[in-house]
Amino acid sequence: MEFEKKILSREIQQFLYGAGMTLGTVESCTGGRIAESIIAVPGASAYFKGGIIAYTNDVKENLLGVSHDVIEEKSAVCEEVAKEMVQGAIKTLGVDFAIASTGTAGPGGGTAEIPVGTIWLACGNAEKTVTCKLTEDYGRDINLAIATTKALQMFIGFLKEEMPKEKEEGKAPVIPVTE
C-alpha cells in the first residue's frame, strides 16, 4: 500500500476512533481499494463496519436503493448515483458515514458523454453528502489510485467540517497501534 494512503487512513482514524462513530464504503470502479486503504491501519475494526462492492447496476439498485430511473436517464456514472450510493451504504451497513465511488476507469467503457477517466466520488452522513468529479484519464491503474487517494482526502475534509468541535480542539483519544 502506498505510504500516502496509510497517512490518510491514520488521519481518518484520528477522527473516528473512540468517537463512537462508524464508517462504511460502497465502491464500484475502485473495487474495494478505498476499504483496503482504511483497514490498513491497526484498530480500524473499532470504526470501520464494512464495504460493499457495487460493481453492477443491479447491486446498486437492489442492495443500495439507487434509483433505476436515475441510472437509466443519466447512467451509473453521475453525481446523483454517487450520492444515492452514500445514503444506501449508510442505511444498509448501519454506519454514521460512507464513502462511495462510481466511474469508468478504463481502458474501455467510455463514451463521448462519459469518457474513460470520469469518476464520481461521494462521502457524507445521513444529513449531508459532498461529491467530487474526476475527469482525467491516466490509464486504469493510475485512475484508480488517484480516485482512492482523492476519496480519502475528500472524506478527511468532510470530517474536519462536520465532526463535533471537541475533536477539532485536540481532545481526540490516544489510539493503540495493535489490533
Asked if the structure places residue 40 within a domain, the reply is yes
What's the pLDDT at 164?
66
What's the pLDDT at 20?
86
Structure confidence by residue, pLDDT tens digits, 137-148: 999 999 999 999
The yes-or-no verdict on residue 29 having pLDDT over 80 is yes
Round to whole Å and give the CA distance between 137 and 149: 15
For the chain, what is the mean pLDDT? 91
Structure confidence by residue, pLDDT tens digits, 50-101: 999 999 999 999 999 999 999 999 999 999 999 999 999 999 999 999 999 9
Asked if the structure places residue 53 within a domain, the reply is yes
Asked if the structure places residue 175 within a domain, the reply is no
Asked if the structure places residue 115 within a domain, the reply is no
Higher pLDDT, 103 or 177: 103
Domain enclosing residue 144, as ranges: 3-110+120-129+138-168
Number of domains in the chain: 1
Structure confidence by residue, pLDDT tens digits, 100-117: 999 999 999 888 899 999
pTM equals 0.90
Q: Are strands 119-124 and 97-103 parallel, antiparallel or unpaired?
A: antiparallel
Round to whole Å and give the CA distance between 138 and 147: 11
Q: Is the dihedral of CA 84, 86, 91, 93 positive or negative?
A: positive
Asked if the structure places residue 10 within a domain, the reply is yes
CB atoms near residue 143 (< 10 Å): 24
Here the CATH number for the domain that contains residue 43 is 3.90.950.20
The yes-or-no verdict on residue 171 having pLDDT over 50 is no
Asked if the structure places residue 60 within a domain, the reply is yes
User: Which pairs from 38-42 meet CB under 8 Å and 24+ separation?
Assistant: 38/9, 38/12, 38/152, 40/1, 40/5, 40/6, 40/9, 41/6, 41/9, 41/10, 41/12, 41/13, 42/176, 42/177, 42/178, 42/179
Asked if the structure places residue 158 within a domain, the reply is yes
Round to whole Å and give the CA distance between 11 and 114: 33
Distances from the Cα of 14 to the Cαs of 109, 119, 177, in angstroms?
Answer: 38, 27, 12
Asked if the structure places residue 176 within a domain, the reply is no
C-alpha cell at 88: 444506501
